[in-house]
Structure 1
Amino acid sequence: MTEEAVAAYVRSSTDKQEHEHQRDDIINWCETNGVPTDSIQWYVDLGQSGSDPGREQFLELTDSIAEFNRVVTWEVSRLSRLGSTYQRFFEEASDADTIVHVANGWTDTIRPDGTGKLIADISAAVAEEQRRKLISRVNSGVRRARKEGKWLGETPSGFTRNDQGYLRPIINPNPDEDGYLEIRKALEDIEDGASYNETAAGLTTTRQTLSRIHQDEERRLWYLEGEASNDDRVSEALADISTQ
């Protein structure tokens, strides 16, 4: 093992979630605290939950932790949200005499003798409680919005979501979008035997999207019959085009 063998661990819950800031903070912390950055070995799990004990890069780091003098991570929750996995990691670090650093936490150093571990544990517990409260608030907001008939998530082709959050058909589309009537005409052409490719040629909507709509019996009726028997939010929106 070299005099300063350093590993860094980065985790994000989704592939799209920003993770470069974790790298930047880790590098900045190392430079500020005299930890060499040129030979950092990075372990990165993207699109992985902290409660998943089977993260490939995390397991690899845990198994090879004896090769490193130091392990740096952005915050304690990046290592694990599962108590048993979290504790095992620090036990392995302690057995290997490896120091763990946290770039963004209440304590920045957890030593093999346990110094800093209690503060790190408290920090992790507080962060997890804040996360649970945030999830609860988000879920409450989602339930309230659904109860009020508001549309959540990606809007269907030919529709938009107005300022109040309600689904509405696009009657006069902009040049870069397809309106409800254009999607309806495309589906009528498909019903008459046109291919998905040729039908999509004049639209911004892709052939894959047209195919999904056409093969979804319920959604197909939104356009061809102007009906949505299983979704009052869509039924209300379709009332706007009943005279078209």
Structure 2
Amino acid sequence: MNIHVDDGELQQSIYGMVARLMDDLAQIEHQQKLQRIQSGVRAAQSAGKWTGRPPAGFVVEDGYLLDPAEFLHLREAIARIDRGASFAAVADDTGIAESTLRSLHQDRRDIYLNGEADDDRADEALTDIRLLEDARSGGPDLEELRDRVERLEEAANLGDR
């Protein structure tokens, strides 16, 4: 079906309405796409999977953070900077970009030096690092573990009363 409009103003009005309608439909589709993406990200995070770019020193494999060796390499580099080494010298020695070292030292220092993360998933990955360190140092102090267990049992017994 062809519609012929001889009036130029009417034709421009019709073209304008069609263009606005197509724009509105595109915006609605864009919003729906964003909602589907956000829903998928929330579902993955609920399943404990990492979404987004992982912190340096971590590798995402099957949605989970791994690679303790790279993490320890970065941590040693950041510790050297904390002890007074220059960013440039550490970058030359380790092969880690100076800009990466500066960024990590400024924004994520606690993750690397203290083994503490704001994100539960990263904190869970750091548990593997702590276990690796315990194994390297001969394991945790058994007496300290016994004391901690006794305190936890006492606290649990007090809670039962």
Range into which the TM-score falls when normalised by the shorter chain: 0.5 to 0.7
Q: 1:197 aligns with which of 77, 88, 98?
A: 88
Give the C-alpha shift of residue 130 in structure 1.
0.7
CA RMSD of aligned residues (A): 2.2
Give the C-alpha shift of residue 181 in structure 1.
1.5
**Would you say 1:224 and 2:113 are equivalent positions?**
yes
Structure 2 residue runs without a partner (length 5+): 1-7, 134-161
Q: 2:121 aligns with which of 229, 233, 244?
A: 233
Structure 2 residue aligned with 1:156: 55
Structure 1 residue runs without a partner (length 5+): 1-96, 98-110, 172-178
Q: 1:215 to 1:120 in 2, by over 3 A?
A: closer
Measured against aligned partners, the alpha-carbon deviations of 1:178-202 in whole angstroms (never above 9, x if no partner) come to x111101101211221001110113
Give the C-alpha shift of residue 168 in structure 1.
1.8
Q: 1:119 to 1:210 in 2, by over 3 A?
A: same
Q: Which protein is richer in helix relative to its size?
A: 2
Contact (CA 8 Å) 2:66, 2:125: kept in 1 or not?
yes
Q: Percent identity?
A: 38
- 2:38 & 2:87 partners in 1: Cα distance? 38
- 1:240 & 1:159 partners in 2: Cα distance? 12
State how 1:1-244 maps to structure 2 within 5 Å: 113-163=12-62, 165-171=63-69, 179-216=70-107, 219-228=108-117, 230-242=118-130, 243-244=132-133
Q: 1:204 to 1:156 in 2, by over 3 A?
A: farther
TM-score (normalised: structure 2): 0.66
Equivalenced residue count is 124
Give the C-alpha shift of residue 162 in structure 1.
0.9
Q: Which protein is richer in strand relative to its size?
A: 1
Q: 1:114 to 1:240 in 2, by over 3 A?
A: same
- 1:132 & 1:221 partners in 2: Cα distance? 37
- 2:55 & 2:95 partners in 1: Cα distance? 13
For 2:110, the aligned partner's letter is L
- 1:237 & 1:158 partners in 2: Cα distance? 11
Structure with bigger gyration radius: 2
Measured against aligned partners, the alpha-carbon deviations of 1:149-176 in whole angstroms (never above 9, x if no partner) come to 322222211111112x1222342xxxxx
